[in-house]
Structure 1
Amino acid sequence: MGSNGSKFVRKIVSPFNSTGAGNSNSETNICCSSLKGPGLIVLSRQGSMFFDEDGDLAHEFYIEELPSKKGSKAKMKRIVSNLKPQGEVAYSCPRLHNDFPIILYQV
């Protein structure tokens, strides 16, 4: 029962052990190349906003519809056509991927 946990920890921690005595970059290269899956550092994300025909950027767009009868209220209608997604948005500073396999804590 305990052997499975120690195998798992060894598998995660092994890329972070230094194998080269004199090479300071070897630890960084091992860390970034031997972990499988997505990269450790995330530089951008998929934007959640849209551009409309005028080039305005927002999450949602509405247009005011005037009432057809006199005395009734105007209504807001949501626009869902002719919108372009924002695309990739760069982070101001790089971040760790959410699947980063090491628990980080401050001592």
Structure 2
Amino acid sequence: MGNSGSKLVKKIVSPLSGYSEQKSEPDNCESVKLATPYVLSRKGSMFLDEDGDLAHEFYVEEPPQKKGAKATMKRVYSNLTPQGEVAYQFPRLHVDFPVILHQS
């Protein structure tokens, strides 16, 4: 019973401390770095256009087809580049972090 509790504690604490474990194979002496519970960046949701402008959506004004009609806006889908990885200002905890945090 105590063994299962210590395994649980080891699973929780080892990612926090950056603990490295040795592989069980004697011929391979490399240490394995465990995952960190922190998230340092995210995938950006915006796009860059040809001019280098950054936005969620891009539109172009189309002139009216008839004289006296109003101009319309058409959404641009081509020649856009995804923003890529965006670094957080400070690290966040991962969603799958196995500990309940409580502030009293």
Q: TM-score with structure 2 length normalisation?
A: 0.72
In structure 2, distance between residues paired with 1:99 and 1:17: 14
- What value does the CA root-mean-square deviation take over the aligned residues? 2.8
| Residues 51-101 of structure 1: per-residue CA shift (max 9 Å, x gap) | 001000000000000101011111100000000000000000011111111
Structure with the largest fraction of strand: 2
User: Does residue 96 of structure 2 align to residue 99 of structure 1?
Assistant: yes
Instruction: Please list every run of 5 or more consecutive structure 1 residues that lacks an aligned counterpart in the other structure.
Output: 19-26
Q: How far apart are residue 10 of structure 1 and its match? A: 6.1
Following TM superposition, the consecutive aligned residue runs of length 4 or more in structure 1 with deviations greater than 2 angstroms are 9-18
Q: How far apart are residue 30 of structure 1 and its match? A: 3.5
Counterpart in 1 of 2:37? 40
Counterpart in 1 of 2:17? 28
| Residues 32-63 of structure 1: per-residue CA shift (max 9 Å, x gap) | x797xx63111100000000010000000000
Q: Are 2:37 and 2:97, in contact at CA under 8 Å, matched by a contact in 1?
A: yes
In structure 2, distance between residues paired with 1:102 and 1:40: 10
In structure 2, distance between residues paired with 1:30 and 1:81: 47
Structure 1 letter corresponding to 2:36: G
Q: How far apart are residue 28 of structure 1 and its match? A: 1.4
Equivalences for residues 41-60 of structure 1 within 5 A: 41-60=38-57
In structure 2, distance between residues paired with 1:92 and 1:17: 25
User: How many residues are aligned here?
Assistant: 90
Instruction: Please list every run of 5 or more consecutive structure 2 residues that lacks an aligned counterpart in the other structure.
Output: 21-31
Identity %: 60
Structure 2 letter corresponding to 1:75: T
Q: TM-score with structure 1 length normalisation?
A: 0.70
Select 1:89's aligned residue among 79, 86, 90.
Answer: 86
